[in-house]
Chain A
Amino acid sequence: MNRYSILGTALHRLAILCYMGFALFPLFWLLKVSVTPNDLLYSEGVRMWPSRMSFEHFRFVLAHSAFPVFFRNSMIVAGATAAIVTLLASLSGYALSRFTFRGKYWLVALMLLTQMFPLVMLVAPIFKMLSPLGLTNSLTGLVVVYTAFNIPFATFLMQSFFDGIPKELEEAAKIDGATQFMAFRQIILPLTLPGIAATLGFVFTAAWSELLFALMLISGNSAATFPVGLLTFVSKFSVDFGQMMAAGVLALIPACLFFLFIQRYLVQGLTAGAVKG
């Protein structure tokens, strides 16, 4: 090994470390403030770790605030959205991957179009449409809206996973007398489990994070999701930083768990698509 390559390797590792520091420091700070007791919050404001740790903020948030309700609402909305979207997107993604049919081009064009226009444009019309149906201020309304928003991208994602599976598998099954749908359900879907996991995780995170439509469509505490709850908490007059950050840490956990689980499938799936396209 010559001097250049040793220097290069050192620089490479250093750069990776810088990226990791930049990526993780804000999350570390969130965690740090959430375990800092109130009396040390200001006196040890810039210390890297408080001299004394306490979980009082977590206890308060879990026992005396509306956050367990927000957490439950967000879980229901994000979970239901992820399940429905993944189901529908695996059907439509399979159709795009395996069939040629009249109108396919227009379907793809429509799905691409939905990725291009400003969603904020839909805030007012959707409110006007859902309010006579009683779907404002309801979790069902949010699930319907989020499902529609996430289907186009999820369809493309699932399609790229289906494209990676050889067609001969279904053809063999059909020779043995299976219908196309049977082949899809019993042979292709089990092989696409990583893709299904990636799509589930992706949609769950997206629904978990959505703010604007939740703000517009939900007004009371009983149907508020985590983003709306946390934001109303922030805009109140006296701000308790420790409690807010404890709530923030709690909001972070489901999304991050999902992401750590799915991120390698995501790169895999995109690579498969890139090879083909």
Chain B
Amino acid sequence: MVFDATAGLPESRRRSLIDRITRHAEPYLYTAPALILIVTIMLAPLVLGLSYAFRDVQLLNPFSGGYVGLDHFRTLYDDDNFYRALRNTLWWTGASVFLQFVFGLILALLLDRPFAGRAIAQALVFLPWAVPTFLTGLNWAWLLNPVIGPLPHWLYALGLMSEPANILSNPQLAMWGPIIANVWWGIPFFAITLLAALQAIPRDLYEAAAIDGAGAVKRFTSITLPFLAPTIAITVLLRTVWISNFADLIIVMTNGGPADRTQIVASYIFTQAFRALDFGYASAIALVLLVLLLAYSMLIVMLRQVLMDRA
């Protein structure tokens, strides 16, 4: 006779034990592949990168790798290029986010109104978002190039320029090139998210307000804006962080030049890692950028809390 340890248990209880184990394991089985990838490809390099900030890591120097303490941060403290990059980051991020948001909100409001051909209009105005960023950069660099692009000639014809010149090679104006390209590319993001939020507002609220005699402006400020506020807060926060890290357009269009006038912190990190192959110093700059961005995010979250408590 074969002894079965569970033979004493009724069939149904034995099954429910296995069921319980699988039921507990199930969510972890679903999430495990994603979690493993995120931990090995993003979290582990992040930790490794933080350690590089305190070590001398140069790709082509086999004797590098030693611990250097805060040396990188001392160098950084006296690095004028870094401060210039920091100022440029503020200017680049501020102008890009502001213009993308304003034009994105207007576009979302325009598209929220039904009209003939709305589906096709929506697909076409959202198209820039699908254009790969490197191509966006090249495309605008070409448009701004007087040899091949129309924009310098138009600006000249309007009397805004004394001759058809390339603003990307003008230290005073160069930053506007990547900013315009970024705005062109980023408007659809704000428009898509804000349009989705607009379409979630119950229509009868507007009808009730109209019956109560509220005008268009009043309806916008007392219904639309409060409903959009959470979406606006989260999208502006995310975009600010994202754009301050966004080096692609600058690397493609100006590579930080002329005279480092368009070098932002993110492109400076990339230049240090990619051209100078100084991974240690690049990681130290990246750590400072990370701390600044975290501080900014905390500030916004706290500000939002204060505003919500007051409301």
Contact = CB atoms under 8 A, between A and B. Distances in A.
Interface in B91-150: 106-107, 110-111, 113, 115, 119, 121-136, 138-140, 142-143, 147-150
B46 interface: yes
B49 interface: yes
Secondary structure at chain B's binding surface: helix, strand, loop or mixed? helix
Contact of B153 (A46, A212, A231, A256): A46
B175 interface: no
B46 A231 contact: no
A146 to B, nearest CB: 9
Contacts, number: 259
A118 B134 contact: no
Given A208-B132, A264-B119, A41 B106 contact: no
Contacts of B34: 88-89, 91-92, 151, 155
Q: How large is the interface on A (under 10, 10 to 19, 20 to 34, 35 or more residues)?
A: 35 or more
Interface string A27-68: 101100100000001100110000000000000000000000
A101 interface: yes
Secondary structure at chain A's binding surface: helix, strand, loop or mixed? helix
Contact of A267 (B130, B134, B139, B192): B192
Contact of A95 (B30, B44, B52, B130): B30
B247 to A, nearest CB: 6
15 contacts: A12-B115, A20-B124, A45-B147, A95-B27, A101-B24, A116-B293, A120-B286, A128-B279, A148-B38, A149-B42, A216-B273, A226-B132, A252-B131, A270-B192, A270-B196
The 8 closest A-B pairs by CB, nearest first: A259-B130, A148-B41, A209-B132, A270-B196, A95-B30, A125-B45, A124-B279, A121-B286
Interface of B: 24, 26-28, 30-31, 33-35, 37-38, 40-46, 48-49, 52, 57, 59, 106-107, 110-111, 113, 115, 119, 121-136, 138-140, 142-143, 147-150, 153, 184, 187-188, 192-193, 195-197, 199-200, 231, 238, 241, 244-245, 247-248, 251-252, 266, 269-270, 273-274, 279, 282-283, 286-287, 289-290, 293-294, 297
